Homo-oligomer: A and B are copies of this chain.
Amino acid sequence: MQHRVAAIGGDGIGPEIVAAGREVIDAAGERYGFDIAWTEFDIGAERYLETGELLTEEDIRELSKFSAIYFGAIGDDRVKPGILEKGILLAIRFHFDQFINLRPIKLLDGVATPLANKRPEDIDFVVVRENTEDFYVGIGSRFAGRHEQKTLEVVRDIYNVRFGLDVETDADELAYQIGVVTREGAERAIRYAFDLAVKREKKVTSVDKANVLSDVYGLWRDVFTDVAAGYPDVKTEFNFVDAVTMWFVKNPEWFDVVVTPNMFGDIITDLGAMIQGGLGLAPGGNINPKGTSMFEPIHGSAPKYRGQDVANPLATVWAGSMLLDHLGEHEGAAAVLRAIERSILDGYVTRDMGGARKTSEVGRHLASLVRTV
């Protein structure tokens, strides 16, 4: 079986960790009889600084030929915050309608959590983050002036929504931002979460702030209730986002599948990453089950470690395991995760995890483990 996969190393440590991940994935292929044909894409800060290009029409056309993208990281100190994130990472998520952001929160054996008295069996859940709506739609504006009237016209392609907003103000300077939730958008994410829960512990927690942002999250809750009616065997509960940050820290064992709108998903998955041992160990999948999906470590590009062969590749390798699952290579996916666990237990890790190994050494070691583990 051959799979074609796009690879975007990106910026900073991105290329090194993706190289390590590819080595491990290829080794899993040798063992389980599949082969990955990799196509590299040069997308990121370097190209942007040279040509001004973020994600081009041609990038999109070419990437759309793949069912999976293996993504490193983007971000560069020479570029203002937001440009690369919105112009590349979020652009890919939105353009390919990757409506699920899937983040396993799982404390592996041998990993230190900052929480007192929590063990691997206590921290093992999945966050399903809606990935195309909410406050990430990028609708907003900013202006100054007394009684100045401005109109914003925005068309959101995905749902064919047009907003025309007139603002008249006495404030010296004002900015606003609009979040959008649609029934279809909420429903497909929530349904994905329930389908996942059916294969796990049959519990879904919805995280919102419907008591204050009642319009968008009121709709979200109603959709959740409607979808839940079709899954009578699945236990459900609502948590407010502020409260859920407490329970992640105090009682992570309560959770099985957590489903949440985009922005709160961004926040609570970083907290989740920390309780499972930190960003060095946190992978994410951006999934469109019928289109082009993307798998990435959730950490950034750490520009200052670029080219030093010191970055921890484990989050990226774990993202590779998720990529294999997505391609239907479940045995390979499981072996990659076992190799990660083995290597942690052996202390064969980078210095951020208390080890003495280089990025490339860990990659090579995992590739050899994956053949036997």
Contacts and interface: CB of A to CB of B under 8 A. Distances in A.
Contact of A173 (B162, B183, B211): B183
Interface in A138-189: 138, 140-142, 144, 159-184
A213 interface: yes
Q: Is the interface of A mostly helix, strand, loop or mixed?
A: mixed
B171 A219 contact: no
B184 A180 contact: no
Interface stretch (A45-53, A272-280, A323-331, A358-366): A272-280
Given A242-B266, A263-B209, A271-B271, A165 B163 contact: yes
B269 A218 contact: no
Contact of A175 (B164, B176, B180, B243): B180
Contacts of A266: 209, 212, 241-242
Interface stretch (A78-86, A301-309, A336-344): A78-86
Nearest to A75: B211
B182 A219 contact: no
Contact of A90 (B116, B182, B212, B218): B212
A138 B216 CA distance: 11
A244 to B, nearest CB: 9
Interface in A244-303: 245-246, 249-250, 263-264, 266-271, 273-275, 278-279
Contact of A243 (B90, B116, B140, B270): B270
A114 interface: yes
A136 interface: yes
Contact of A162 (B136, B141, B167, B274): B167
B168 A216 contact: no
Interface residues of A, number: 73
B181 A215 contact: no
How many of these chains are in the complex?
2
Nearest to A213: B177
Given A162-B168, A171-B159, A250-B274, A177 B245 contact: no
A66 interface: no
A39 interface: no
Nearest to A275: B249
A142 B215 contact: yes
A210 interface: yes
Nearest to A162: B168
A215 B163 contact: no
Contacts of A231: none
A214 interface: yes
Given A177-B215, A215-B176, A219-B142, A161 B171 contact: yes
Given A159-B171, A171-B159, A214 B164 contact: no
A41 interface: no
B160 A171 contact: yes
Contacts of A245: 245, 267-268, 270-271, 274
Given A172-B183, A267-B267, 5 more contacts: A115-B115, A135-B135, A161-B174, A245-B271, A246-B278
Interface of A: 81-82, 85-86, 90, 113-117, 135-136, 138, 140-142, 144, 159-184, 209-216, 218-219, 241-243, 245-246, 249-250, 263-264, 266-271, 273-275, 278-279
